[in-house]
Structure 1
Amino acid sequence: MDLGKDLDNALRYLGFRGRYNWVVFSHLLIFTSAFPAAMTMILVFIISDPESYYCAPPDGFSLNDTIPTSDGNNTNDFDNGCHMYQVHDGILTQNVTSCKHGYEYVYTYGETTIVSEFDLVCDQRLLKDTATTVLMTGLFIGAYPMGQLCDRFGRKIMTFLSILFLSASGVGLAFSHNYYLFVVMWFLIGVFRQGTMIAGFVLLIEMLPPERRALGGSACNMTWGFAVVTLALLAFLIRNWRHLQLVLSVGILVALPFWCIVNESVRWLQSQKRYDDAERTLQKIAKFNRIDAPSKFLQASEKEALAQQTNISGPTEPEKALSTSEELGHTPTLEYSKVNEDNGSQQRTRLTALDLFKTPNLAKNTLILMLDWLAASMTYYGLSLNAANLAGNMYLNFFLLSLVEIPAYVMAYITMEYFGGRKLTTALSLLVAGIACVFTAWIPNTTAYGTDLTKAITTFAMIGKFGISYTWGGIVVYTPEVFPTGVRSAANGLLSGLSRVGAMAAPFIVRLNDVSPYLPLNIFGIIAIVAGGLTFLLPETRNVPLPETLEDGEMMGKILVPPSRDQKAKNLMIKL
């Protein structure tokens, strides 16, 4: 029995361009990629700083009266908006004090943000920066448990529950009446955004045969790019942050009626030993596509699978450590049986992300991908923060910075599918991004002869942004193809959470510019270069069936096809 091959062939038979794939593919791209992307990147507009702000004057006085212009020695020492001349008993004095009557804000485009609503300026400015950290903390904390829940309860239910709670958190954010309620809702948005994207992405990838997985992952990346480009237009049209948040939070609820159409991942059903449910799901998809289905897609029922697993010859040697056994009538769970060779007893252990580190090859692959995700996130956010100083219209700048990602994702798909494969795409793009960062750091503003080199600096910075976006285009497709089904979502959650550590570290690394302007981009560049070099040690996964068991994951890179896909007796030790 080779359920992996049976399933891949069944998915090919059902047709990538079938009605079911078009409907579900579009649903997942829109509601588990586009909306979560917009609900994350809206942060740029929610916490944007005003052009200027001043202490609000008391009644009977104007800004010209109360704004300090000198402390007696240096002009404009107090024009930062945090101080004013004190008014005592209706008389204006020359004593300087902090703002006593609130603030007045000047926004170029008439927008509203939490900075002006909650007065997050002057001695409260740290709270504005904390809001960003809270969001990233939610993304970080939510990644691993959401991945585990997705593996435990299924991709479909976690996708729709996450969408529902993400919408509720977004509505709560829009109606937050104080800063502390705002950050609580912001944290929950981070948690449930992770659940939506992790569960939705894994569900999408697992419904595709190997040769279509790169297209699926690239479609998610391009959807992210189009979403943030569209967000720039929406933010320009809807300049009240509460209204913009409500549009996104209510809009995502359109996903819920699709519950009746979207099916559970057949691969996940197989990992749960629910072979009959998997067969019924394939039959439903065939009926939805209006095509004639064979009497049986998968060449084994639950009873037949159990008979093969408990045959009198017992498991082969490579299978012994990860053999599976289910009693009839027992509800399948995400468990594998481990054989105790001393007494023949079996101890059932639930798979977690810790199992990724119990075998040497799988642990190596996991550690390298952890560094890749950390470097990709840190460099992406680091370059974005450095590019934020571009002069001009805020909305146009955001649009252009987002636009550069789309061709990167397109090129990533082309190279993954038709040229270098997953490994080469991820490795080279990290190297390009890292080298571009180092060049950007070391190019002087002017030459010794006075030639302006700012255009060269900008060019290399954009090459770095293109390269790191290219990396994301490859790594999100590459990662789930390396890990077995039983821990795929948990691994994705672990790596996604780790990437948030990189995102949280990026602003602090950028602040090292105060110590030396060479430090930030050199740090980003060196980390990306090291990660890119180590990526060459990973296995290639293009057109290779997804690994189903931990043994499959351990053998990735050692054999041409994971052992559960080929006849293990042959055990072809063909190095990639």
Structure 2
Amino acid sequence: MLTFDDVLEEVGGFGLYQKITFFFVCLTSAAFAYLYVGFVFLAVTPDHWCRSPGATELRDKCNWSLEQEKNYTLPVGQAGSSSYSQCEKYDIDWNSSSGRCENPLLLIQNGSQGLPLTTCQDGWVFENGSISSIVTEFELVCADSWKLDLSQACLNLGFTLGTVIMGYGADRFGRKSSFLFATFVTSALGLVVPFLPNYTWFLIFRTLQGLFSKGSWVCAYVFITELVGLQYRRTVGILYQVCFSSGMMLLAAVAYFIPDWRNLQLATTIPGFFFLTYYWLIPESPRWMLSQKKNTEALNVIQQMAKRNGKSFSKKIEVINLEFAITLVYQGLIMRLGTLGGNIYLDFFISGAVEIPAAILILSTIERIGRRLPFAAGGLLSGSTCLIAAFIPERVLGLIVGGLVLLLPETKGMTLPDTVEDVENLRRPKKKILKTHHQQSVLYSTDVKDPASVKMVVEG
């Protein structure tokens, strides 16, 4: 009994049709790099120091340089950091002081020793000519520096939720439809971000962007792996990641010419609306359509694929065996808890359409959240990043997860599972993996004079 992969081989496993479609999909992977690593350019932290009332006026009066003002009016910084404090200042009102232009601190309590210090209650001064970023916009420094890590943790939280939610949407409404919807919402949210008034709204919109953007990326990844032959899935998966890396390199060049964070946000968001034209440029996944009994539509896509690839249907292709367990992530991720004795394991399975579980994306995203939250919590509790709070939980969780991986079944040299029963059978290597859950439907070609001559019976 032939499988859908056999049909792909007949019409071209990675022919011109798939290559053109793959090129379009790769552009979306490159564009995703901005949201994923663009925070490096959005959150540039320039040199800064506390704003002191009257200090600037005293500099103008005494004709000081900027460095002289900092040397005269700011306390010494910690060893290994800036030469002056970035988060504290002398508790002095320079407007009412009787300081003189030549080292004014000499007239105040016999020098700087013993002078009271206070936090930057009047805000910060950022270095002249510094790049505008969310740090300068929302003053995310010193006691509020933890909010930078929190925003990244929330973005990764959105990635995790989006992978699951959009995964279900891709199974329910189709790969293409879910991809286009997620792309539109991500781009619309991105247009609003430059005009947000405060950090709280920025945090909310970053989370929403993460939710839809990662779902869009995963939908496109699954779509392209479903469209190529079995032996090409690993290749397109790797190249899809290469496009993402290329997008990161291109982003650095864009940020060099557009350093302002608001303009950079707009410049990298607007091209996302171009991907909406994919409604006419790329097909829906024929494998998904067959699983939804959209037989005529699936056959039309296969015929277009064969025509573009210079192939034709063989009259021998009459039966297609399509596993019923075509899933993305929502149905493809099984989490099981064993007994109290420690028989805890995670079984991931994905349909024959995707060899490597998009579930790895979920795990990697959860891991990134775990790395960010300790930094955010440490900064929230102590006012600065607490290294102990940041690294110990990360290392402990890493050891736990690494131990759980040892409980996963070995898949080397084995047929990858398509159903729940197949996953269970992975733990019984001596038994043959059984394919289950099949059903039949008949497809007739409408492009030939004798429809019965090209007939496909889909068993799913």
Superposed pair shares fold, TM > 0.5 = yes
Paired with 1:16 and 1:508, the residues of 2 have a C-alpha distance of 44
Name the counterpart of 1:53: 49
Pairing partner for 1:112 from 113, 121, 132? 132
The alpha carbon displacement at 1:265 in A equals 1.2
Name the counterpart of 1:80: 86
The alpha carbon displacement at 1:258 in A equals 2.1
Matched, 1:538 2:405: no
Change (3 A) 1:239 1:352: closer
The alpha carbon displacement at 1:527 in A equals 5.2
Amino acid across the alignment from 1:505: G
The superposition leaves residues 492-514 of structure 1 with CA deviations (integer Å, 9 ceiling, x where unpaired) of 3x653343221122246688984
The superposition leaves residues 133-187 of structure 1 with CA deviations (integer Å, 9 ceiling, x where unpaired) of 2212211222211111111111110111111111112222222232122111111
Matched, 1:217 2:82: no
Instruction: Considering Cα pairs closer than 8 Å and 6+ residues apart, tell me whether 1 or 2 has the greater RCO.
Output: 2
The superposition leaves residues 429-471 of structure 1 with CA deviations (integer Å, 9 ceiling, x where unpaired) of xxxxxxxxxxxxxxxxxxxxxxxxxxxxxxxxxxxxxxxxxxx
Matched, 1:271 2:291: yes
Q: Is the 8 A contact 1:279 1:296 kept in 2?
A: no
Name the counterpart of 1:340: none
The alpha carbon displacement at 1:532 in A equals 5.9
Q: Is the 8 A contact 1:6 1:297 kept in 2?
A: no
Name the counterpart of 2:382: none
Q: Secondary structure at the match of 1:356?
A: strand
The alpha carbon displacement at 1:565 in A equals 11
Pairing partner for 2:8 from 2, 8, 11? 11
Matched, 1:505 2:405: no
Change (3 A) 1:498 1:282: same
The superposition leaves residues 487-536 of structure 1 with CA deviations (integer Å, 9 ceiling, x where unpaired) of x79x73x653343221122246688984499968965774575366445x
> Which region of structure 1 is more displaced relative to structure 2, 53-62 or 515-524?
515-524
Name the counterpart of 1:327: none
Q: Is the 8 A contact 2:374 2:389 kept in 1?
A: no
> In proportion to residue count, which structure has more helix?
1
Change (3 A) 1:203 1:70: closer
What is the aligned residue count? 394
Amino acid across the alignment from 1:36: F
Q: Is the 8 A contact 2:5 2:230 kept in 1?
A: yes
Matched, 1:158 2:178: yes
Paired with 1:125 and 1:228, the residues of 2 have a C-alpha distance of 25
Amino acid across the alignment from 1:530: G
Q: Is the 8 A contact 2:326 2:350 kept in 1?
A: no
Paired with 1:238 and 1:221, the residues of 2 have a C-alpha distance of 25
TM-score (norm 2): 0.71
- Counting only pairs closer than 5 Å after superposition, residues 82-481 of structure 1 correspond to structure 2 as 82-87=88-93, 90-91=96-97, 96-106=117-127, 110-294=130-314, 299=319, 353=331, 356=334, 367-368=345-346
Matched, 1:28 2:48: no
Percent identical pairs in the alignment equals 22
Unaligned segments of structure 2, at least 5 residues: 60-68, 99-107, 109-114, 339-343, 379-384, 439-460
Paired with 2:330 and 2:252, the residues of 1 have a C-alpha distance of 39
Q: Is the 8 A contact 1:7 1:298 kept in 2?
A: no
Q: Is the 8 A contact 2:193 2:205 kept in 1?
A: yes
Q: Is the 8 A contact 1:69 1:79 kept in 2?
A: yes
Q: Is the 8 A contact 1:484 1:552 kept in 2?
A: no
Q: Secondary structure at the match of 2:259?
A: coil
Structure 1 stretches (4+) deviating beyond 6 angstroms?
A: 509-513
Unaligned segments of structure 1, at least 5 residues: 306-321, 325-333, 337-350, 361-365, 370-478, 567-576
Name the counterpart of 2:63: none
Q: Secondary structure at the match of 2:50?
A: strand
- Counting only pairs closer than 5 Å after superposition, residues 32-47 of structure 1 correspond to structure 2 as 33-47=29-43
Matched, 1:483 2:336: no
Q: Is the 8 A contact 1:271 1:485 kept in 2?
A: no
Amino acid across the alignment from 2:89: H
Amino acid across the alignment from 2:40: V
Q: Is the 8 A contact 1:156 1:263 kept in 2?
A: yes
